Amino acid sequence: MLGATLTFGFENRNTFLTAIGMYEGSAAGFAHCLIAANNSAAGCDFTATFDRAMRPVAGIKVL
Helical axes 13-24 vs 30-41, angle rounded to 10°: 130
Q: How many domains, in total, are found in the chain? A: 1
In a domain, 47, yes or no: yes
In a domain, 2, yes or no: no
In a domain, 5, yes or no: no
In a domain, 3, yes or no: no
**Containing H/E element for 62?**
strand 60-62
Partnered with residue 61 across adjacent β-strands are 48
Q: 26-39: per-residue pLDDT in tens? A: 888 999 999 999 99
In a domain, 20, yes or no: yes
> Which range of residues forms the domain containing residue 28?
11-62
In a domain, 6, yes or no: no
Query: Which ranges in 1-63 belong to alpha helices (H)?
Result: 13-24, 30-41
In a domain, 50, yes or no: yes
Q: What is the pLDDT of residue 42?
A: 95
Banded pLDDT at 61 (limits 50, 70, 90): very high
In a domain, 1, yes or no: no
pTM: 0.80
Using CB atoms within 10 A of its CB, is residue 35 exposed (0-12), middle (13-18) or buried (19+)? middle
